[in-house]
Amino acid sequence: MSQEYVVYGGELSYFTRKLEAAMVFYGADWRRAPKTPDIETRAATHQVPVLRTPENWVIADTTPLMRLLDARFPDRALFPPGALGVAVHALEEYFDEWIARTMVHYRWHYEESARFAALKMSGGDEARAANVLSWGPRACRATGTESEQQQRAAEDEYQRILTACETQLQETAFLLGERPTAVDCIVLGGLRAHTYMDPTPKRLTEQFPTVVEWTTERADTWDGGGELMALDQPTPFAAFVLGEMQTTYSPYALAARDAVGAGAKAFQVEVYDETVSYLTRPYIEQSRQMIVDRIDDLDAGERAAAHRFLDDNGLRQVFA
């Protein structure tokens, strides 16, 4: 039986490029292919990426997929065991469910980037590109970056992220130490699909040469070794993200949880000194619940360590 994995997705897809980074870190035999109607039907989702395994399973959703792949490539697992795995998962969640909105903003609120992406997605077909362009502003409204204040705040936040990445990568091979985790995968996904791809944010990213080198070359040279940060000694990058989460991701995730529970179509959150409306997407709560479940699955000692970590970083409530 072939050991090949197929990643069905696109070059400009945040989560496709996240999964591709993971496949490189796993050392898997894989290739990318465009998603077909048959694959979409089997996966029961319009979203990308979808992974076809060597057994011909067709599965979507990158975080559960990576847990499956961790079991298959245990020496190269991207979620460490125990309480440290909770920390990695929480940090990944910030980029999966909060920073994704920044990627949408950069792509569709700047005409240069929007046209670049629309033409690339449509294979240069102008009529199809026009349909793609009409989708962008709706996505921005749904994810809360319609106002100029939120757009500026999102860009300032991402510049802080790049600054933290630049500093960390001058000290360690990856963002949480000397080996990659799911956090590196999603940060690379954003850089490779969006902020070092689309022309507008690329000009910002180019100001961070260590990040560029890591994105284009260095990250893919991992030899399978190295140690991660200790749970009680997060890297400066991890500490920075944990601080950002307290005032952005946490209130957003809690409000989304309440909206899903109430069956509301939208919800509002105070973010960056402005009340912002978001479309309720059930997956936000489903994704948060994965972390809650991960904590519940730990033994008593590791669960207590995870709770201490969350308490110390002001995140216990959101993952209670």
pLDDT in tens, 147-164: 999 999 999 999 999 999
Q: What is the mean pLDDT of residues 223-231?
A: 97
Q: Which burial class, exposed, middle or buried, applies to 139 when counting CB atoms under 10 A from its CB (0-12, 13-18, 19+)?
A: middle
Q: Domain coordinates of the chain in residue numbers?
A: 5-76, 82-312
Label residue 192 by pLDDT band (50, 70, 90): very high
Label residue 131 by pLDDT band (50, 70, 90): confident
Partners of residue 50 on adjacent β-strands: 8, 60
The model's pTM: 0.97
How high is the pLDDT of residue 23? 98
Question: CA angle, corner 169, sides to 166 and 174, nearest 5?
Answer: 135
Comparison of pLDDT for 67 and 1, the residue scoring more: 67
pLDDT in tens, 282-295: 999 999 999 999 99
Q: What is the mean pLDDT of residues 269-285?
A: 96
Note whether 237 and 245 are within 8 A (CB).
no
- Which of 18, 12, 9 has its CA nearest to residue 46? 9
How high is the pLDDT of residue 130? 86
Label residue 132 by pLDDT band (50, 70, 90): confident
How high is the pLDDT of residue 248? 96
Q: How far apart are CA 163 and CA 38, in angstroms?
A: 43
Note whether 145 and 232 are within 8 A (CB).
no
First CA to last CA distance, the chain? 43
Q: How far apart are CA 194 and CA 280, in angstroms?
A: 24
Q: What is the mean pLDDT of residues 113-123?
A: 94
Domain at 5-76: CATH architecture: 3-Layer(aba) Sandwich (3.40)
Q: What is the mean pLDDT of the chain?
A: 96
Q: What is the mean pLDDT of residues 230-239?
A: 98
How high is the pLDDT of residue 127? 86
pLDDT at 72 over 80: yes
Label residue 1 by pLDDT band (50, 70, 90): low
